[in-house]
């Protein structure tokens, strides 16, 4: 009986630690996966059509999102900086980042009715 109690407590502690580690990873996964290098406009545009690197533009995405793209920037300025988007609709554009962490990712950029940037996020497909 005592062995079952000890095993139950050990399993509960293990599960708690595993859950905490998972949620820390989940909260910071974009920083871990997409922050390998600083944004470089020429490299960003050059990598748009490459097939050499699976996570072709992913390394620059976090820096771009956190340090370059700011609220209020006009849509025209974003497309002038990043080039032609992979996907476009009225209030959002998306740039292909490639296959990162075994899943295809994109940088989604949202605009308001005045075509000013309101938010960006890294999405998975």
Residue 25 lies in a domain: no
Query: Is residue 110 very low, low, confident or very high in pLDDT (cuts 50, 70, 90)?
Result: very high
Residue 53 lies in a domain: yes
Residue 19 lies in a domain: no
Residue 118 maps to which CATH number?
A: 3.30.1450.10
Q: How many domains does the chain have?
A: 1
* CA distance to 26, 79, 83, 90, 112, per residue, from 115 (Å): 31, 12, 16, 9, 5
Give 7-48 pLDDT, tens digit per residue.
898 999 999 999 988 887 666 666 666 667 889 999 998 888
- Residue 47's nearest CA partner among 58, 37, 57, 35 is 57
What does the alpha-carbon distance between residue 18 and residue 43 come to, in Å, rounded to a whole number? 38
Range of the domain at 111: 34-124
Residue 7 lies in a domain: no
Residue 17 lies in a domain: no
Residue 6 lies in a domain: no
What does the alpha-carbon distance between residue 96 and residue 83 come to, in Å, rounded to a whole number? 12
Contacts 24+ apart (CB under 8 A), 108-115: 109/69, 109/78, 111/75, 115/74, 115/75, 115/76
Residue 119 lies in a domain: yes
The structure's pTM equals 0.74
């Amino acid at each position: 009986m005592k062995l079952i109690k000890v095993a139950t407590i050990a399993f509960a502690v293990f599960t708690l630690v595993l859950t905490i580690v998972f949620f820390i990873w989940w909260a910071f996964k974009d920083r871990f996966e997409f922050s390998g290098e600083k944004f470089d406009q020429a490299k960003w545009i050059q990598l748009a059509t490459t097939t050499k690197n699976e996570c072709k533009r992913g390394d620059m995405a976090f820096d771009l999102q956190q340090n370059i793209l700011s609220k209020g920037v006009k849509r025209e300025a974003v497309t002038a900086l990043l080039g032609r988007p992979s996907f476009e609709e009225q209030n959002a554009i998306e740039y292909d980042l490639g296959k990162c962490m075994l899943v295809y990712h994109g940088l989604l950029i949202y605009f308001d009715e005045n075509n000013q940037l309101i938010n960006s996020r890294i999405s998975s497909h």
